[in-house]
Amino acid sequence: GYSLAFTEGNGFFGVFDKTFLKGITVDSVAATFSKGVVVSELAYVIFQGAFAAITCGLIVGAFAERARFSAILVFMVVWFTLSYLPMAHMVWYWAGPDAYVDAAAGEAAGKTAGFLFQKGALDFAGGTVVHINAAIAGLVGAIVIGKRIGYGRESMAPHSLTFTMIGASLLWFGWFGFNAGSALEANGSAALAMVNTWVATACAALSWMLAEWLLKGKPSMLGAASGAVSGLVAITPAAGFVGPLGAIAIGLLAGIICLWGVNGLKRMIGADDSLDVFGVHGVGGVLGALLTGVFAAPSLGGTGVYDYVANKVGDYDMGAQLISQFWGVGTVIVWSGIVSFVAFKLVDLIIGLRVPEEEEREGLDITAHGESAYHY
């Protein structure tokens, strides 16, 4: 997988040269975003491996409690190969800054980059590659597999708000690693990404909580935790490109718009997305990816886009950047949607996606795995 995503091939896939990490040694290095600065390629491999793993894990939440374990494992292999790897290559693969020695060399290097990198789409830490990609797959899965038995009639609240809070807290802390780590260096860019991840998430937790308080009369911890995750998602593509004020704006908007995503939009679509993967990661990912094009503008406190040939920040064209961001968002929605639908249908034909009704009623922990979380 690493080889197909992060070697030079065409605009959509790399080649098999580094399969099973062939040729990557303790001395191998990977480019960063600064000329003359490199990191261990093995460190880069494991960092990218974490992104790849969490994206597959995200999808499952959309159809929890009703899907066949073996079917999901097979689906993941197909989806990962045909949706995750090309998206990672399209958005993140490039020759590295050292290739941009002059205009001619820069133009030649640019032609070897991924399709969306060439389009100029900015995604600092995975708004398109991870969040929208997984959310579309999850939504398609929830629709194809169907609703849980009793959905809409029986209470399906989280069984432990304590665990929800601990999980959200672990996510927030771990997210600093993803967003700040995406700078690939311990520098000002990493610090900016960390500060932005900090404030956007706090603002989204606040705006979701306040909006819910106004609408339902009570603020909830589940709402605040959901808001925090929506802020984490929305700031992910923007983290290293916007200033703190931009991050605050993105966070405040994310809390309110993702609250609509898990209520109004969810009702409009009519899918049983168990853990609101689409409402939070899909809606938040799209919002963050598009607003990156707005708040990356130096006039709004952003970093702009660096010109590696001129070795300075280039002139910023917000309209052109927004078109690039739309390219990123549109591509991942269509690509993941088609791959997911075909993969789910194929797996359903061969294995069957859904467990029998009596197994669903009894609970998959017991019927599929012979385990129970609690023994009374």
Tokens of 172: 């927030």
Integer-rounded Cα radius of gyration of the chain: 21
Q: How far apart are CA 168 and CA 177, in angstroms?
A: 15
Q: Which residues pair with 151 in a beta bridge?
A: 154
Give the CA angle between residues 275, 277, 278 to the nearest 5°: 130
Contact (Cβ atoms closer than 8 angstroms) between residue 127 and residue 236: yes
Tokens of 16: 């098999």
pTM, whole model, 2 decimals?
0.95
| Phi, then psi, of 151 in degrees rounded to 5 | -60, 130
**pLDDT tens digits in sequence order for the chain, 376 residues long:** 999 999 999 999 999 999 999 999 999 999 999 999 999 999 999 999 999 999 999 999 999 999 999 999 999 999 999 999 999 999 999 999 999 999 999 999 999 999 999 999 999 999 999 999 999 999 999 999 999 998 888 878 778 999 999 999 999 999 999 999 999 999 999 999 999 999 999 999 999 999 999 999 999 999 999 999 999 999 999 999 999 999 999 999 999 999 999 999 889 998 999 999 999 999 999 999 999 999 999 999 999 999 999 999 999 999 999 999 999 999 999 999 999 999 999 999 999 999 999 999 999 999 999 998 887 6
Q: How far apart are CA 95 and CA 31, in angstroms?
A: 8
